[in-house]
Amino acid sequence: MRQLIIGADVVGPLTSAVEGSLSVQYIQNSGVPALANVAQADILAANNGQFRFVRRGATDAEALVASPWFRPSDFKSWTSRMYNAGTDQVIKVDCSAGDATLKEFQFKVIVTTSGYEPFSRYTFTAKAASGAVATAQAMVDEIQAQVDLGNCPEIAGAALVATDQVHITMAAAERAQIAVDVLESACVFTEVAGTAFAFPVGTYAKLLKEEVEQQGREWSNYDRHTALPDEDVTYAVSGEVYNEHTFRFANSAEGQIRGVDNVREIKIAIPYEAKGATDNAYSDGGSSGDSGQTFELIVAALFNTAVLHANGD
């Protein structure tokens, strides 16, 4: 299973968490969940006690979103990815010859973002002109017209650059390949090096998409001991940026289906704070004013590993 939990941007230090903050709960002897601090995390690690990640509710015992319960011995690995706005892919195609007979030619854009077939694909057909510049402009006009109509949301736009070069800019987080079919025309097109795609990390659009996907297939928070969400709620905040930390756990719970429930991946999204800053509850920032109760230090104590910002936060 995979699950995404997004924390609210709260002022630190994390000595008393506020609603919406990303926290760690453990089970008290009374059976009522409570928030763990570093000392309690040390006890959980020593005794292999149960804990879970939560987006905190109105009280310490409540959770707006919660992972399944884990034990420190279930922990296998974690990876950390820092906020990156990403780079939009730009496909560039030179036109070196048109066709005075005005025959049609085609650009085919194959959207490969999903990584697996069947890929979405769009075919744009335009009539050639006698010159290379006018021929390239004809294709730009056709693509942009379809973009303006909303018929190809994965494409941000098309433009003519450097006189006779067609630029196709993909929408944020989208990737594509292009195929040019000159059909029976005498047009000549050559794809040249474009702007490489860089996947965004911790952006509002990316995390919102993952939250929505989590409500259905592929990113479902399905767990055999819990239920699907009662309502479609998202917590990604427009204008906010995040660091993403992903934890992988083996499933030690009894009665699991081998090969189905045995690996769990929990991604937590922490509002970004530059290293050295002290006004965020999650990161200690290396400040002498650190309370020692930050989220990162609590997690480090649970797993006896480096703090989350060790990978560059």
Give the pLDDT confidence of 109-158 residue by residue, as tens digits.
999 988 888 898 999 999 999 999 999 999 999 999 999 999 999 999 99
88: Cβ contacts below 8 Å, ≥ 6 apart: 156, 169, 170, 171, 172, 195, 197
Domains and CATH numbers, the chain: 2-84+201-311 (no CATH), 90-195 (2.60.40)
CA 251 to chain centre: 24
Task: List the structure tokens of 228.
Answer: 């699907």
- 226: pLDDT confidence band, cut at 50, 70 and 90? very low
- Residue 20, by phi and psi: left (phi above 0), alpha (psi -120 to 50) or beta? left
Is the pTM here over 0.85, yes or no?
no
- 12: pLDDT confidence band, cut at 50, 70 and 90? low
Name the percent of the chain lying above pLDDT 70: 81
Name the percent of the chain lying above pLDDT 90: 39
Q: Which long-range contacts (CB under 8 A, 24 or more apart) does 230-234 make?
A: 233/64, 234/208
